[in-house]
């Protein structure tokens, strides 16, 4: 299986995205998925996607910019714990494992 490219973003690219990166990384490691994960600011997503298209974007907030056909998952459940299993299932379906 080839490495999955994932961007995780939040408003500042620091606080909430760091928590989401940690929890998503643990989830992917548990499932033996190879990945490259980067965190950034929501406003940087369009340029990052244009530069290197990811397999998935996980965001703590809504992304209003057009990023084409790149799938986006709302990652708030990794912060609150509410609906986390559903979010994990979404990630599994998108990444195909």
Active site residues: 10
Question: What are the CA-CA distances from residue 38 to residues 8, 18, 84 (Å)?
Answer: 6, 10, 20
């Amino acid at each position: 299986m080839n490495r999955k490219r994932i961007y995780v973003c939040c408003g500042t690219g620091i606080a909430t995205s760091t928590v989401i990166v940690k929890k998503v990384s643990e989830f992917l490691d548990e499932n033996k998925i190879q990945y490259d994960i980067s965190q950034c600011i929501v406003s940087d997503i369009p340029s990052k996607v244009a530069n290197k298209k990811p397999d998935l974007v996980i965001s703590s907030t809504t992304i209003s910019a057009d990023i084409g056909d790149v799938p986006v998952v709302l990652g708030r459940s990794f912060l609150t714990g509410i609906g986390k299993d559903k979010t994990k299932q979404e990630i599994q379906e998108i990444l195909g494992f």
